[in-house]
Chains A and B, each alone.
Chain A
Amino acid sequence: MRSNGFGFVAPLLVLMIVAFNVPIIYMLGLGFWDKSRGFSLAPYEALADAPVYLRVLGNTLRISLIATLANVAIGYPLAHWMRGLGNRARMIAIALVILPFWVSILVRTYAWIVVLGNAGIVNRSLQWLGLTEEPVPFLYNELGVTIGMANVLLPFLVLPLFAAMIRIDDRLLQAAASLGAPARTIFWKVYFPLTLPALAAGTLLVFILCLGFYITPAILGGGRVPMISNLLDTLINQIPRWDQAAAISTILLVVTLLIFAAYRRLDRRASGT
């Protein structure tokens, strides 16, 4: 690149400022500014006085972390396995990763009830096999929420990770093998580090998407897993306290952007630019 690259960013920047930045600053500003009192931190003080809303935020971060880890545990081996497949099998695998996208989240949520409910397919099979007498409570708890969210978000991790993995040159791995490195060493010293940037980005993407989940946790959690989107819906649409909703959103935004900044810093250090 011969210029400083600003030209690449400019079109998006202009669009964002006009249609998004100005109104979002107004919305979040409601947490700091009041028509009658002017500048005030009252909404934040209210949050500090009654920390129940902050506990909901903490709960959201915790559940999102669990669901993200589950995603990594399932997604990394899947992407890695797909890399090693033959061409045709690989095509089929990619198709299977993409197809669930077409089923709306609402319907997929219902499908999990059919599969994992007390009278669901899995529980009936377990009871029929005599493995359990009482149905296993998969749903209406944190486990149900984790399963539902992981299912929806898995492709968001697998596809970019897979894209990074197939860019890795096989000759690099062969070279390491020819130097006598055992498979485990090749994986951890050569292969895994090369996938790390995509893994980090995919993990972060999934985590951020988790934070915004609304319908799936509400239904598969049986109401026992309070999430911040749910609370914000109440604060916007039911007890209209937009100032408090703005304050909570600002805190969420700051926390997430800090995590993002930490990721970018690590990423930059790793790539040495």
Chain B
Amino acid sequence: MKRRTFVKAAAAGTAAGVSSFAILSSGARAQSKEIRMIEAGGASGDSVQKGYIDPLKAKTGINVVRESPNVFGKLRAIVESGQTGTALFELGAGGLEQAVKLGLVEKVDWAAVNPAPMFPEAKHEYGFGYQYYSNIMAWRKGVKAPKTIAEFFDTKAFPGKRTLPDAMEGTLPFAALAAGVPLDKVFPLDVDLALRKLNEIKKDVAVWWKAGAQPPQLLKDNEVQYAIAYSGRVVGDPAIEVSFVGGKANLSYFAVIKGTKPEDKAAAWKLMHEMSLAENQAKAAAVISYTGPSPDLDALLPKDKLWQFPTTKQNKGVQFVEDAKWWADNGEAVNKKWEAFKLSL
């Protein structure tokens, strides 16, 4: 750690001292001085380091060693092979539900975490929802701006090529919205209705994207004019305009891997506590424009950038939150329909 960041982190530590004192007194159990986590890597990993790991280390001396990437198969392989060296695993909402189904993760001891206030969906029985990221509509500066998802899908009134995610859960909910389903009724998803809508516009979809870096690239190259993209990829780009209206708010969780040693767990709860603090989330949001689960975060974010974040007052209400449970129960059947649709392109 650089000296300057260390000083800053230490200062933040004293600020949050009151709440961490509460846990110290409540649980005098043995805890590890170092635990391991598997996370997404890249800028997201750096945000975890700066936002949460550095403050934790400054406050408690506990170090967290990061490893990436976090593909689901790895979690299952860890549990099947009985490797207990790693305590925390980052999972998407869908991945968390699947992990619960297969018994790969432990319950969160919320009493031990003792979190600061957080959005209810982030406080999962088995996971700590630490990072919101959105799929939103984006378009090239200069083309006619859509106000709703229905307009985004209206290729007659808003002519131009589209790029949509090459993933059923990234595309079907938007198609349902475009077909007239209201924002709060997206789930349970009417898959056939959504596929009918997609069939209407599929000839205008130039690219079904796979990597998050593709949509901004395609927009800038004028390969497409409209995109559904990860918000963090497109906000703040001078060549691209965006709207969170009808966007999909996703949530990334940290969960404790099944069979983790009690002393590692104790340290993991401490890290989760750090993740619940708004001031730490603001530090993470300075690294990547995705936000933590604190409702009090807005005041700590830069005023001129509030429109860029998934959970600010102006943005959270106009989006829908993915129903991961529904996907866990129906994903397999929907995937067959999705693959058949892809083969028809």
Contact (Cβ within 8 A) B332 A222: no
When distances are taken between beta carbons in the complex, the residues of chain B under 8 Å from A224 are 208, 342, 345
Expressed in whole angstroms, the Cα–Cα distance for A238 and B342 within the complex equals 17
Please tell me the number of chain B residues within 8 Å of chain A, measured between CB atoms: 29
With contacts A118-B222, A237-B73, A239-B332 known, is A140 near B340, CB below 8 A?
Answer: no
With contacts A50-B336, A238-B94 known, is A222 near B76, CB below 8 A?
Answer: no
Expressed in whole angstroms, the Cα–Cα distance for A80 and B145 within the complex equals 56
Q: Does A236 contact B (CB under 8 A)?
A: yes
- One of B210, B221, B331 near A218 (C-beta < 8 A): B210
Expressed in whole angstroms, the Cα–Cα distance for A234 and B334 within the complex equals 12
> Interface-forming stretch among A51-59, A68-76, A125-133?
A51-59
With contacts A218-B166, A236-B72, A240-B72 known, is A226 near B210, CB below 8 A?
Answer: no
Is chain B's interface secondary structure helix, strand, loop, or mixed overall? helix
Q: Which residues of chain A from 131 to 146 have any CB-CB distance to chain B below 8 Å in the complex?
A: 140
When distances are taken between beta carbons in the complex, the residues of chain A under 8 Å from B207 are 140, 222-223
Q: Does B206 contact A (CB under 8 A)?
A: yes
A149–chain B nearest beta-carbon distance, Å? 16
Q: Which residues of chain B from 101 to 125 have any CB-CB distance to chain A below 8 Å in the complex?
A: 102
Contact (Cβ within 8 A) B208 A117: no
Expressed in whole angstroms, the Cα–Cα distance for A152 and B214 within the complex equals 20
Contact (Cβ within 8 A) B102 A240: yes
The 0/1 profile, CB within 8 Å of B marked 1, for residues 225-244 of chain A is 01000010010111111100
By beta carbon, the residue of chain B nearest A231 is B339
- One of B102, B335, B343 near A55 (C-beta < 8 A): B343
With contacts A222-B207, A222-B208, A240-B72 known, is A52 near B339, CB below 8 A?
Answer: yes
Q: Does A199 contact B (CB under 8 A)?
A: no
Beyond A55-B340, A117-B223, A222-B206, 5 extra complex contacts between A and B, CB < 8 Å: A119-B221, A226-B339, A226-B343, A239-B331, A239-B332
Q: Does B7 contact A (CB under 8 A)?
A: no
Contact (Cβ within 8 A) A56 B339: yes
Q: Does B209 contact A (CB under 8 A)?
A: yes
Q: Does B211 contact A (CB under 8 A)?
A: yes
- One of A118, A223, A239 near B166 (C-beta < 8 A): A223
Q: Does B217 contact A (CB under 8 A)?
A: yes
Contact (Cβ within 8 A) A119 B72: no
The 0/1 profile, CB within 8 Å of B marked 1, for residues 189-218 of chain A is 000000000000000000000000001001
Contact (Cβ within 8 A) A238 B223: no
Expressed in whole angstroms, the Cα–Cα distance for A260 and B102 within the complex equals 38
Q: Does A147 contact B (CB under 8 A)?
A: no
Chain B residues with a Cβ under 8 A of chain A: 71-73, 76, 94-95, 98, 102, 166, 206-211, 214, 217, 221-223, 331-332, 335-336, 339-340, 342-343, 345
When distances are taken between beta carbons in the complex, the residues of chain A under 8 Å from B340 are 52, 55
Question: Which of A52, A118, A119, A222 counts the most chain B CB atoms within 10 A?
Answer: A222
By beta carbon, the residue of chain A nearest B98 is A240
B224–chain A nearest beta-carbon distance, Å? 9
- One of B72, B166, B221 near A113 (C-beta < 8 A): B221
Expressed in whole angstroms, the Cα–Cα distance for A240 and B92 within the complex equals 14
Contact (Cβ within 8 A) A241 B221: no
Expressed in whole angstroms, the Cα–Cα distance for A55 and B336 within the complex equals 11
When distances are taken between beta carbons in the complex, the residues of chain A under 8 Å from B166 are 218, 223
Contact (Cβ within 8 A) A59 B343: yes
Expressed in whole angstroms, the Cα–Cα distance for A113 and B214 within the complex equals 11
By beta carbon, the residue of chain A nearest B169 is A238
Can you give 9 contacting A-B residue pairs, CB < 8 Å? A52-B340, A56-B343, A117-B221, A118-B222, A118-B223, A231-B339, A239-B332, A239-B335, A240-B102
By beta carbon, the residue of chain A nearest B223 is A118
When distances are taken between beta carbons in the complex, the residues of chain A under 8 Å from B208 are 222-224
- One of A119, A219, A240, A242 near B214 (C-beta < 8 A): A219
With contacts A50-B336, A52-B336 known, is A223 near B342, CB below 8 A?
Answer: yes
When distances are taken between beta carbons in the complex, the residues of chain A under 8 Å from B335 are 234, 238-239
B163–chain A nearest beta-carbon distance, Å? 8
Q: Which 5 A-B pairs have the closest CB atoms?
A: A223-B208, A223-B166, A222-B207, A218-B210, A237-B72
By beta carbon, the residue of chain B nearest A244 is B332
When distances are taken between beta carbons in the complex, the residues of chain B under 8 Å from A59 are 343
Question: Which of B76, B209, B339 counts the most chain A CB atoms within 10 A?
Answer: B339
Expressed in whole angstroms, the Cα–Cα distance for A28 and B342 within the complex equals 27
B245–chain A nearest beta-carbon distance, Å? 25
When distances are taken between beta carbons in the complex, the residues of chain A under 8 Å from B72 are 236-238, 240
Question: Which of B95, B331, B343 counts the most chain A CB atoms within 10 A?
Answer: B343
When distances are taken between beta carbons in the complex, the residues of chain B under 8 Å from A234 are 335
When distances are taken between beta carbons in the complex, the residues of chain B under 8 Å from A231 are 339
When distances are taken between beta carbons in the complex, the residues of chain A under 8 Å from B217 are 113
By beta carbon, the residue of chain A nearest B217 is A113
Contact (Cβ within 8 A) A140 B339: no
A139–chain B nearest beta-carbon distance, Å? 8
A1–chain B nearest beta-carbon distance, Å? 41
B137–chain A nearest beta-carbon distance, Å? 18
Expressed in whole angstroms, the Cα–Cα distance for A140 and B73 within the complex equals 29
By beta carbon, the residue of chain B nearest A26 is B80
When distances are taken between beta carbons in the complex, the residues of chain B under 8 Å from A226 are 339, 342-343
